Structure 1
């Protein structure tokens, strides 16, 4: 049973008045049977929900009944989105507001729903950063969050990968994305919408310029398109490799998922000893060499010759480094 869905039922009845079980089910994306069960759970929790039979009937709250989300500030209302995400809320500078908003939300619920919501919160925890790396420092993240919500442009000094590395940009922030523990800012310049890694912002200052984000801008759709384009630009070549059975087992811990999927899709046996041959996508010779060397003796590059030579050269240097004095 989802405590969040029960709250949605309660707020729908409060905001729209009488609703049929079918309409509730359609709004929540559940079956009519599930909607009936949710209504029964609300009644059992002490919420005064009653049914009006006949044509045009449905379920509604007793006249005058309201949930009491009282005394909530603007920043606490913003923080409600992050009520179950304490890490990201802290990154955005909303840790205290999130806690206060959560407490007020819980206090407004009937006792039964409050207990269920508390139990649910106690058994789920989000830890966004990946293993084996420190969380990135993002001191300007709260500034960007405020700029997005207030429609204020920002002047930034940014460190990028290609030359010139340090650049100045005048940005109109459209949104923030948290991916694998890394924050990205989606913002418009005069000619396009681009993505910026927040940890690489060296300095940021709010501008006096105010702007309105385009009504038709969809952050989720933009991000999906950005990822598709990134993958297309990322892999510019292919390599044919051979892997031992052990190497194939180790593959997911050492290379990106795209490479693992390529191996699974193209693998063919090359003998009776468990070795397979497959074609994988590559970014560059140097990058592919570094990734494949993690697999040690469990991988062999067949082609292209440039990558095979790079592997041999690297192994030769290692042999001389660790060989007899």
Structure 2
């Protein structure tokens, strides 16, 4: 077995297909009801990052040069320049061969070289990855509930009614892929409220809370093959953005929508804006993304303001997700 750095921009089509096959084999084994990945825009997905960020990738190959596992490490900039997040995937038939440990060592060594002091990883609670990271000495920092909404089970009449239940003086606007220039500053200012949410205090929120980063984020998503959908709540008296919700559909996994941030400015809560925005989003998706099978979202175990909204719309908790973290120096000592 050999572990080497992997450059998606220069990878052959065969290597990209093997990368996809490893991920799909793991998904079929550990999470059989999850959607499979496709090749569509896969190279862009693996290689393009936000300005100021970098993604490093590694592969484990067997003696026949076939990819049996892969990993990537995303290095942040700015206020999070001391940290990184990573993923590791190993073909089920190759578990126990040292591939996962070898990829983790490659990640940790490169993180140290890049001056990172901590790294983190997300893990689905029902998969063997939990035991792996427990054995490697990672700390379980955050536990979230993953909630799924099957679109075939949606009561569309009820959702349509909820999308129109707005208090007087508010309106909703829907955008896909971009925001009008005159809305960007107001939108970004509203996202800042997420940092104060109790549900986010247990982890490091890295959302786009300034205008330029927001523009960069939307452009980066599009370049990676990820379609953004945004619903914005406007207080008409001063044309203020007072709420927003975001959802992304990836070309590489087009049957599932990923709910991103949702927030309502504190002084405009209790007017049903969260419910109306998320219901409107579902109505728009029905037309804009007819291939969707389901939508996933995450809520904190305690204190999440969107929990009751998701439940009313039909989302159901199906599994917990763990966020693990560790200090790089300690991990390298444990790896030997």
TM-score range, shorter chain: under 0.3
Pick the structure with greater CA Rg: 1
Task: Identify the structure with the greater strand proportion.
Answer: 2
Which TM-score applies when normalising by structure 2?
A: 0.22
Higher helix share: 1
